[in-house]
Structure 1
Amino acid sequence: MACNTIHSAPSTPAPGPALKGYVRKSETDEILVRDWRNVSPETQIVTLQWPHTHSFYTLPGGATSPLLLTECIRQGLALLSHTVHDIPLDHRLGWEYARTTVARPALRPRSGPTTAELRITHTTVTRRRGGSVHLTAHINSTVGGEHLGTAEIRYTTHPPAIYRRLRREYADAGRAFGNALPPAPPAAPGLVGRDDPGDVVIAPTGTAHHWQLRTDTSHSTLYDHPHDHIPGMVLLEAVSQAAQAEFGERGPVVPFDFDTVFSRYVEFDAPVWIDVAPETPDVLGRDRLRVTGTQSGRDVFRTAVTCAPATTPGAAPPRAT
């Protein structure tokens, strides 16, 4: 039996340590959300502190990674799921589909921390017998009146009993985290748009367009606490880096549009392979790639990613409709 309900709730907890449990971050410095307010029962505004620099999401040359906005959205949805939609803190959240489109202002270096906003509208909140909840959210983000990007996210939350049945022997985060394969030697940082080898999440295999995912669980941003499976943000970073490598000889690119289906949990104890293939360019002639992740012979995620030259003014997309 399903029912569609959306609840109002009191204001958010104070920023800082009190938000750790809401946004699934252990380090206070990694918490980007600051507050939220109601617009309607279906729509809330989440306030963010958009950093002018970040140890991971600031790229060589000072530009901002397009995935900073995705991380802001992840935190914003986690916060609202618990505070607005009455989902208990011990439920496990997982994305099933994510389409994010980032505009040029989201990539621009800024002189200091800036307040940004996410306008989040949940068009579906379906509660299943047993406690699982299926949600669909549409997001529009702005900073100082400038458009940062849009997103559509479909995600599910499961109560502990159902999650344990789904994950079986992998449900214990500490054990799964401890079974992570040692990271393979990284790709050359400059090839994938990075300076630090420790920030590289793909490894060469000797075969063109074919990479191995690196799971360096000591990375303080990507793995700031134990996980029972490889986080989606790591997979999207692998997509971004594989796209950079694909166009390396033509110069740096901005992967600005990610259209991703997450089809299975991605485990730490088996290799993950990342394969890249060309797709038909978009209507403006911008390059598109299909990036597929496989593990143990099965697809675990697939992304259609659209890229623009990093040095071309206005190359990032217009405001999405």
Structure 2
Amino acid sequence: MTAGTTNITHPTTGVSRAPLAGPALESLVGKSRPCEALVTDWCALSDTLQRVTVRWPRDHEFYTSDGRYSPLLFTESLRQALALLTHSAHDVPLTHRTGWERFDSRVDPDALAITADPALETVTLLISHLSVKRRRLGSVHLASSIEALRGGRHIGAAELRYSAHPPAVYNRLRGTYAQAAQAFARALPLTPPVPAARAGRRHERDVVLSPTASDREWLLRVDVDHPVLFDHPHDHIPGMVLLEAAVQAAHACAERPVVAVAFETEFHRYVEFDRRCLITAEPAAPDGAGRARVRIGASQEGRPVFSALVTTAPLPG
């Protein structure tokens, strides 16, 4: 699926759910601050297809700037939607720990403009579950495809592979890092940011890259006090932080302001708080539409932990 401008209609029958709100919602979508919960409701259209509604705020401290939404607001929206459905539609207990393995997405940059139309604050996510495999010890491996609509217009799409592990399995996987509060407390001291403008940001507090001697290499800058990226303790650095680093690295490589319009991403290992994480960038061949692409890598102690092929387009306007 490719993001475009076609108006698409879909079935609206299904089992309606009451609008979601309150602490239960925040737990289901993996946020602790109420203002960060984007999901408003969901319903099942079939056994394998659900519709999730999210609200995009016109003014957000991290995901809006200069009259535009960050493309990662789309990613955060589907992250929350999948977290909700993992527990609500697939009956995976809240005690399971979820992690992404593969994430590919496309978004229409023109659809990221903030408007005065209240109807366009609502985004509909149509989520098809391609595979749900339950393992003997309780782990669940899932694959999903997402289509996003705003005002009836197709604005983006994504495919994900992810897993959810029960405490016994997760604790064995993570060893001494399994407890979030202890792992969070091991975070290295905060390093200085690259200039905000170079990272495509307005404020230094939102920069997740620190300079090195190379203009194509950075240290991951981890501010555990950031209210959006770390609104609660984690046992490892979240994937949204790594995706933000990939976006900022792509900005730093561009000769003019750009917007990230596509990701092809793999999460190879858990990224730990107590080790330095090196972010690298190198140009890649343009995509079929001639848009620039940058290959981003992340490593800890010489081992790859994350990789992404980021496609960018000139910033509209």
Q: How far apart, CA to CA, are the structure 2 residues paired with 1:88 and 1:209? A: 42
**Which ranges in structure 2 are unaligned for 5 or more consecutive residues?**
1-13
For residues 231-275 of structure 1, give each alpha carbon's deviation from its aligned partner in whole angstroms, at most 9, with x where no partner exists.
00000000000000101xx21001110110000000000000000
Deviations 1:198-225, CA, capped at 9 Å, x for gaps: 0000011021200100000000000000
Determine the structure 1 residue equivalent to 2:257.
252
Aligned residues: 302
Q: Distance in 1 between matches of 2:110 and 2:124?
A: 13
Following superposition, the deviation at residue 311 of structure 1 comes to 3.3
Is the partner of 2:47 in helix, strand or coil?
coil
Q: What pairs with 1:97-108 in structure 2 (closer than 5 Å)?
A: 97-108=102-113
Deviation by residue 1:274-301 (Cα, 9 ceiling, x = unmatched): 0001111111111111000000110001
Report the aligned-residue RMSD.
1.4
Specify the alignment match of 1:62 in structure 2: 67
Tell me which amino acid in the other structure corresponds to 2:37: I
Q: Which residue of 2 aligns with 1:23?
A: 29
| Offset at residue 18 of structure 1 (A) | 2.1
Distance 1:12 1:93 in 2: 25
Cross-structure match for 1:282? 287
For 1:70-81, what aligned pairs fall within 5 Å after superposition? 70-81=75-86
- Equivalence for 1:232: 239
Per the alignment, do residues 38 and 140 of structure 1 end up closer, same or farther by CA in structure 2, a change over 3 Å counting? Answer: same
- Distance apart, 1:127 and its partner CA: 0.3
In structure 2, give the amino acid aligned to 1:169: T
Q: 2:96 aligns with which of 91, 94, 105?
A: 91
State the shift of 1:141 in Å.
0.4
Contact kept, 8 Å, 1:69 with 1:106, in 2: the verdict is no
Query: Shift of residue 13 of structure 1?
Result: 6.8
Aligned partners of 1:49, 1:22: CA distance in 2, in Å?
16
* 1:242 counterpart = 2:226: no
- 12-21 or 166-175: bigger deviation: 12-21
Partner Cα separation in structure 1 for residue 117 and residue 269 of structure 2? 39
Is structure 2 residue 195 aligned with structure 1 residue 193?
A: no
Counterpart of 2:309 in structure 1 is: 304
CA contact (8 A) 1:12 1:83 kept: no
1: CA distance, partners of 2:104 / 2:216: 23
Q: TM-score, structure 2 length as denominator?
A: 0.92
Structure 1: any 5+ residue segments left out of the alignment?
A: 1-7, 313-321
Farther off after superposition, 97-106 or 285-294: 97-106
**Residue 268 of structure 2 corresponds to which residue in structure 1?**
263
Aligned counterpart for 2:124 among listed residues 98, 117, 120: 117
1:126 aligns with 2:133: yes
